[in-house]
Structure 1
């Protein structure tokens, strides 16, 4: 055990997870690569949990941060803040939400917490609909709408949460149905659930479940849900913390795969927009955002430095069509990984969209999740020079692949080859 690891254990909570038997200290990065304290170089296919969205040490972002820090680092929302207004204008326009208002936070957890506050205040109800296998953050309210046992440490809650079918396509009671019948069954389940409730405030849903193992319903499910929700006056919150900003390749936002319903009432974002800086936020139409009847500010949300980073990162992403790159290179990568998976009895499914790909592992010859195999592949991939993530419900048996959106074809090929070797080495 390293000295730094021992020091970490001495001062950190016991529930603060670290990857690997011998945890890594990352010291610097460039492009799609990072280096550890021993000088080892790794191809990064996880980006600090989908947060280094564009590239490590992207010159445009580091320059914007440095220049803004040289002017003023902090002011709070009590003063006019030009970078915050400029980024809010761009996010509002990109959101697709009419008459949109934007509130910046420091994390996705805080963004979802704010969305829940808005929805419950607007609807005068503390009842929330959420998806099974979901994850929405670690605050008291976000944990209470998380449908994933491994990430929900308490049953105590300020909200009454009811869980809906549909977030996981290939498991559960409707898995064998066609996409059309799957959607029909999930809508019927939602209708039945609402027949036993009293005025839910909102449905919160990730278009692609992140921590849950990059699972997703068929396109159009949330559009079908929206028709039901609208009849009941229930708001739709789209949690875009992991799916936003073009990562799925096909769409700029995950909700757009269900676009026949139009945009959500509330959209939350975080992670990638800051490219490593602490930026989150909520977008909602004006009547929803302005429903609070008490004072509120944010000390750190919308800080001049993080807003400068977000502006520079968003500009780079749009000018270099990183959504298109995610579609093209991600399509190649998932094709390669499906070929790798077809050669392994341990791989149940390779799924995903753009540069958001999950590899679900099971015990060969069964449908039983195999978290030990996932841990072994994680270690073997590191030994081969590749960093990946894990997820997938309570069993953490899914390898999560989410490189920066500037990933090249050569790097995609290299990563797929390392993963093939890691799967072989792990058994």
Structure 2
């Protein structure tokens, strides 16, 4: 084929399969925190394949584990014992904080959330789900049905009855002007009122920090306060850690731990970074919940020998090198630097985040109106300067999303901030 790759892409792939940039990028290889495109241009990667390259591109420990396992056997399915799957499940169960935990591996975060919904609705014998406004949980039929962000919810049909709760966005909405304590009280009152108009809700599913929603989050302690209400009604709490997991927030290993007063969640979902690019997702749940299904089930690709080998090597590297601590230290410096930049620019409404998970919300200067055109322009300008970013923020996509690999150095953080500063000023 001699046609440009973009033309070939458009000829055979769906129109709704989004691509970044006016001139879409073909990434050919990476190393550390950098990637190269097909034209030989080098970029500092501040998005990590949507928070998936968690430790580093081409991390030798992971690539070696994958190659060695692929040389033995690539696939067997869950119908056979799998040593790597058992070993990774043991580590994940222990790290989850959930007592008597069981782990089920999937191939994606969408599938992990799908499984958590299946478990919760079966355990509670109810198809009613509480979800947060501005949330995103995946692109399957059931996950779309609990996504509180219409830009990512292409159909109103769903097997679930979903009710949306306040609280995922601190700085917008009817409670934005309240103090943190008052905000939590108001959101809890809203939840109590909502539950007064329904019965037998199965679960609340929530991202501790909303990813696609623009890295928004509630004050610490909101979900602990919610949990007290949920427990009175027997409602399960599912924490969606697909983007917040594995120490990315710096302060905690899991996002739920910022709301830990009431203990661990009933179910926890994960994906993205655990495989450092390999397709791993999963659910952790108390044994009584995980084992509530009374029909047969297997997974053809979930927990494959190769992906489990990658997950073990990647998780081991992360823990041995204290990448959570690095996210706290380097991420803290980066967010301070970004806030200093934003304070000079009326285009920037807010810089928010935790650890190596930061969002820059852009508005029309002098207003609170979202500015997706500016976000798109900054994305282009940053790319020209050698920096890859993400976008988010709901239907307006006016938030720049920053989530580099957790091995980011102070020098690389400063380099990326300088490129981003020039991009923002150019817009």
Instruction: Return the alpha-carbon distance in structure 2 between the equivalents of residues 193 and 88 of structure 1.
Output: 37
Instruction: Return the alpha-carbon distance in structure 2 between the equivalents of residues 366 and 186 of structure 1.
Output: 26
Computed over aligned residues only, the root mean square deviation of the Cα atoms, in angstroms, reads 0.7
Instruction: Return the alpha-carbon distance in structure 2 between the equivalents of residues 318 and 180 of structure 1.
Output: 34
Q: Tell me the equivalent position of 1:83.
A: 84
Pair 398,223 (structure 1): closer, same or farther in 2 beyond 3 Å = same
Q: Tell me the equivalent position of 1:98.
A: 99
CA offsets, 1:258-295, max 9 Å, x none? 00010000000000000000000000000000000000
TM-score of the two chains, using structure 1 as the length reference: 0.99
Equivalent position SS for 2:130: strand
CA offsets, 1:394-424, max 9 Å, x none? 1000000000000000000000000000001
Instruction: Return the alpha-carbon distance in structure 2 between the equivalents of residues 221 and 182 of structure 1.
Output: 9
Which residues in structure 2 correspond to 1:42-121 (within 5 Å)?
42-121=43-122
CA offsets, 1:99-121, max 9 Å, x none? 00000000000000000000000
* Structure 1: gaps spanning 5 or more residues: none
CA offsets, 1:375-394, max 9 Å, x none? 00000000000000000011
Is 2:33 the counterpart of 1:32? yes
Which residues in structure 2 correspond to 1:324-343 (within 5 Å)?
324-343=325-344
CA offsets, 1:215-251, max 9 Å, x none? 0000000000000000000000000000000000000
Q: Tell me the equivalent position of 1:156.
A: 157
Instruction: Return the alpha-carbon distance in structure 2 between the equivalents of residues 239 and 313 of structure 1.
Output: 20
Instruction: Return the alpha-carbon distance in structure 2 between the equivalents of residues 117 and 197 of structure 1.
Output: 20
Instruction: Return the alpha-carbon distance in structure 1 between the equivalents of residues 319 and 143 of structure 2.
Output: 31
Is 2:380 the counterpart of 1:403? no
TM-score of the two chains, using structure 2 as the length reference: 0.99
Instruction: Return the alpha-carbon distance in structure 2 between the equivalents of residues 99 and 153 of structure 1.
Output: 38
Q: Tell me the equivalent position of 2:128.
A: 127
Instruction: Return the alpha-carbon distance in structure 2 between the equivalents of residues 341 and 76 of structure 1.
Output: 50
Q: Tell me the equivalent position of 2:14.
A: 13
CA offsets, 1:184-243, max 9 Å, x none? 000000000000001100000000000000000000000000000000000000000000
Equivalent position SS for 2:375: helix
Instruction: Return the alpha-carbon distance in structure 2 between the equivalents of residues 363 and 54 of structure 1.
Output: 35
Q: Tell me the equivalent position of 1:323.
A: 324
Instruction: Return the alpha-carbon distance in structure 2 between the equivalents of residues 4 and 273 of structure 1.
Output: 30
Q: Tell me the equivalent position of 2:394.
A: 393
Equivalent position SS for 1:330: helix
Q: Which runs of 4+ in 1 moved over 3 A?
A: none
Equivalent position SS for 1:216: coil
Aligned residue-pair number: 426
Pair 66,412 (structure 1): closer, same or farther in 2 beyond 3 Å = same
Instruction: Return the alpha-carbon distance in structure 1 between the equivalents of residues 79 and 257 of structure 2.
Output: 34
Instruction: Return the alpha-carbon distance in structure 2 between the equivalents of residues 238 and 249 of structure 1.
Output: 18
Equivalent position SS for 2:413: helix
Instruction: Return the alpha-carbon distance in structure 1 between the equivalents of residues 47 and 283 of structure 2.
Output: 24
Which residues in structure 2 correspond to 1:408-419 (within 5 Å)?
408-419=409-420
Q: Tell me the equivalent position of 2:177.
A: 176
Equivalent position SS for 1:374: helix
CA offsets, 1:104-159, max 9 Å, x none? 00000000000000000000000000000000000000000000010000000100
Instruction: Return the alpha-carbon distance in structure 2 between the equivalents of residues 199 and 176 of structure 1.
Output: 33
Equivalent position SS for 1:42: strand
Which residues in structure 2 correspond to 1:349-388 (within 5 Å)?
349-388=350-389
Instruction: Return the alpha-carbon distance in structure 2 between the equivalents of residues 107 and 252 of structure 1.
Output: 20
- The structural deviation recorded for 1:2 is 7.1
Q: Tell me the equivalent position of 1:256.
A: 257
* Structure 2: gaps spanning 5 or more residues: none
